[in-house]
Structure 1
């Protein structure tokens, strides 16, 4: 008898908690739509999914279109190490992605990077 009562209480309690969570989620979405946060979040997600452009990669590394692959590697090493020691993981990952982007560009141009 006690087991059955306990099971009913658990089921009833989980239903109440579930409805409360759903209601809170709906309210959070409503508030996000009112303030524009939802739209901004969707835009950031879309932006994050796009590949880095060659121009953006050059800006991150601070190099020009005339830079050699060796110059790019030097700049990469400096910025990557600086952010590993005193910077942020986010900036370090941006530097790495910039190098990857330019690596494919220089490989395509056949500028002998290896």
Structure 2
């Protein structure tokens, strides 16, 4: 009689463990697929926030600057506002480390947008110019 109870307890425990393991595997697999799809679209999407956790609009609101138009922004104004806000929120002067990190991420996000737009414009100019390889002839 005791062996039946022990056997049933082992079977029920194994079944519960198997279900939990299968659910954890499904969750990990879905998470992996989501992160791969998000990383795959990050190079082309202008509204991504994988790299810094901020959208471009949020970054512009934090630094109180205009969003880049056509990939061009007034970076001098952006850097000036960044330095002022970063210094004001210095934790040693009684500021907030959280706000200071948000300001840093906002600057990085705007720089990322401008850099991606410049690279895209460079690629487009190269495509319009055409491929002109250097050919060396053997003498």
Which has the larger Rg? 2
Question: Given the two structures, how large is their TM-score scaled by the length of structure 1?
Answer: 0.50
